[in-house]
């Protein structure tokens, strides 16, 4: 009998790969942070003894969810400027608040709040874009969550840097520091085509090619953005990025609500990725990304929540459901984006977009043990005919009972193991007072 670190016995395991497979009464064997076996529970009990043995008789085990686009620290701005269109929201409310308040301590506490929320809703990896990415990285390491840290770039000065050269200089220095962290990777994160000019974008393309890093950027988020670009530059933003050599397999194009057939064909041919943020797009009335068309064309579509200031949560289970339902309405087809496709968007497709598909995104022998457990024992989960459909259409984030990242348990029976909940609540209350009194 072989000894392993952890053995988890579950009612169902949904590995994501192979697709549409559900293993009933199966167990997961984890050793040194990696999945070493998936097998029937009876067999697992004969083959393995474990330092930690978990019996989850009414739970679904699945790979940790991957939030492919967020601004973690903006959790502190949740609900400060609701029900406004994007540019009004940004220019008249969010940017002035950020100018006044964003600091290392703001990013530290906001990131901790976001990580706590994400872990408690089953997210084990997030792709971030925000100021003080060094602080975001530090807090992710402390909490034990996996993260892709955005090396943010703008043309204009902010609290983090004065110009595009300084953003890149600081970003590259941080990238060097991150290389020793097993749970952290990086992306170049120019904010958007309308906030970053050609020269820094060309530099980013060269650096991304050299370092083999993804490029994570808001693109075609609103009709206004596309119309302004046509007026000022005579070309659509995606076309401009294509001319600069940025539309390639490294591109993570976020939002993409304004797509025509040529845009979709270009993305598919280039092997570029779309990060779909349906709830933020709905709330800001930015438009609809035609994801059924994109998937049919062969584009890899991942899923993100955006920041809690425009969603207003970081709930990937909710995002999956919204993505599936919205896609059906947009495509005028009830069979568009079935439950399994939505689940793939929140797991393996996100891993592919971040270049991490060999490490995470499915419960596969040899991959990192990023695993979540969903409790299906309550009335609201009965009857349960199809665990995959149940996950997407009828599961609430409060059903996430346990979370492991690289084999380490970060949520145990709904309790965070690496974040002090009471201390965090105190810090958030203090920020609420400050932001409310000086908004």
Q: pLDDT tens digits, residue range 147-166? A: 999 999 999 999 999 999 99
Are 106 and 340 in contact, with CB atoms under 8 Å apart? no
Residue ranges of domains in the chain, CATH in brackets: 2-63+369-406 (2.30.40.10), 65-353 (3.20.20.140)
Q: Average the pLDDT over 266-279 and give the result.
A: 98
pLDDT tens per residue, range 188-199: 999 999 999 999
Percentage of the residues of the chain whose pLDDT score is greater than 70: 100
| Burial (CB count <10 Å: 0-12, 13-18, 19+), residue 84 | middle
If you average pLDDT over every residue of the chain, what do you get? 97
Report the half-sphere exposure of 243 (CA within 13 A, side-chain side): 12
Task: Give the pLDDT of residue 155.
Answer: 97
Q: What is the mean pLDDT of residues 125-129?
A: 98
Q: Exposed, middle or buried, 244 (CB in 10 Å: 0-12/13-18/19+)? A: middle
Longest Cα–Cα distance in the chain: 70
Answer whether 160's CB lies under 8 Å from 149's CB. Answer: no
Given a contact cutoff of 8 angstroms between Cβ atoms, the answer to whether 378 and 32 are in contact is: no
Query: For 49-69, how does the pLDDT look when each residue is reduced to its tens digit (9 = 90+)?
Result: 999 999 999 999 999 999 999
How are strands ordered across the β-sheet holding 251-255?
Answer: 65-70, 123-128, 146-153, 184-190, 215-219, 251-255, 273-276, 300-303
pLDDT digits (tens, 9 = 90+) for 68-104: 999 999 999 999 989 988 888 888 999 899 999 999 9
Global pTM?
0.98
Q: How confident is the model at residue 438 (pLDDT cuts 50, 70, 90)?
A: low
pLDDT at 89: 87
Q: What is the number of alpha carbons within 13 Å of residue 157 lying toward its C-beta?
A: 1
Q: In this structure, are residues 52 and 6 in contact, taking their beta carbons and an 8 Å threshold?
A: yes
């Amino acid at each position: 009998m072989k000894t392993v670190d952890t053995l988890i016995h579950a009612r169902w395991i949904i590995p994501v790969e192979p697709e549409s497979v559900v293993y009933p009464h199966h167990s997961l064997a984890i050793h040194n942070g990696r999945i070493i076996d998936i097998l029937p529970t009876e067999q697992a009990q004969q083959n393995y003894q474990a330092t930690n043995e978990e019996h989850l008789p009414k739970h679904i085990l699945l790979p940790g969810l991957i939030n492919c686009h967020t601004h973690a620290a903006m959790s502190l701005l949740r609900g400060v400027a609701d029900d406004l269109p994007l540019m009004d929201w940004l220019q008249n409310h969010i940017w002035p608040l950020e100018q006044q308040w964003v600091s290392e301590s703001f990013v530290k506490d906001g990131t901790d709040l976001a990580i706590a929320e994400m872990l408690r809703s089953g997210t084990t990896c997030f792709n971030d874009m925000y100021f003080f990415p060094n602080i975001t990285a530090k807090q992710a390491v402390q909490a034990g969550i996996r993260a892709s840290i955005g090396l943010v770039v703008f043309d204009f000065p902010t609290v983090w840097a004065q110009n595009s050269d300084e953003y890149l200089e600081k970003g590259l220095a941080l990238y060097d520091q991150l290389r020793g962290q097993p749970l952290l990777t990086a992306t170049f994160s120019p904010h958007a085509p309308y906030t970053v000019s050609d020269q820094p974008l060309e530099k980013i393309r060269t650096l991304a090619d050299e370092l083999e890093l993804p490029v994570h950027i808001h693109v075609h988020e609103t009709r206004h953005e596309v119309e302004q670009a046509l007026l000022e530059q005579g070309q659509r933003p995606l076309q401009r990025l294509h001319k600069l050599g940025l539309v390639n397999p490294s591109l993570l194009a976020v939002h993409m609500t304004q797509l025509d057939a040529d845009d979709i064909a270009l993305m598919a041919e280039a092997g570029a990725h779309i990060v779909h943020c349906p709830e933020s797009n709905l709330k800001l009335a930015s438009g609809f990304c035609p994801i059924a068309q994109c998937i049919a064309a062969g584009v890899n579509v991942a899923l993100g929540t955006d920041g809690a200031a425009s969603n207003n949560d970081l709930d990937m289970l909710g995002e999956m459901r919204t993505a599936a339902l919205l896609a059906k309405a947009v495509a005028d087809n009830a069979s568009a984006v079935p439950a399994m496709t939505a689940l793939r968007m929140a797991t393996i497709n996100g891993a592919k977009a971040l270049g991490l598909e060999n490490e995470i995104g499915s419960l596969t022998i040899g991959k990192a043990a990023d695993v979540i457990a969903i409790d299906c024992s309550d009335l609201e989960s009965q009857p349960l005919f199809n665990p995959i459909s149940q996950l997407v259409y009828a599961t609430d984030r409060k059903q996430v009972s346990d979370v492991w990242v690289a084999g380490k348990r970060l949520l145990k029976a709904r309790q965070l193991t690496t974040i002090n909940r009471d201390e965090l609540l105190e810090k958030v209350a203090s920020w609420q007072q400050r932001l409310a009194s000086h908004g």
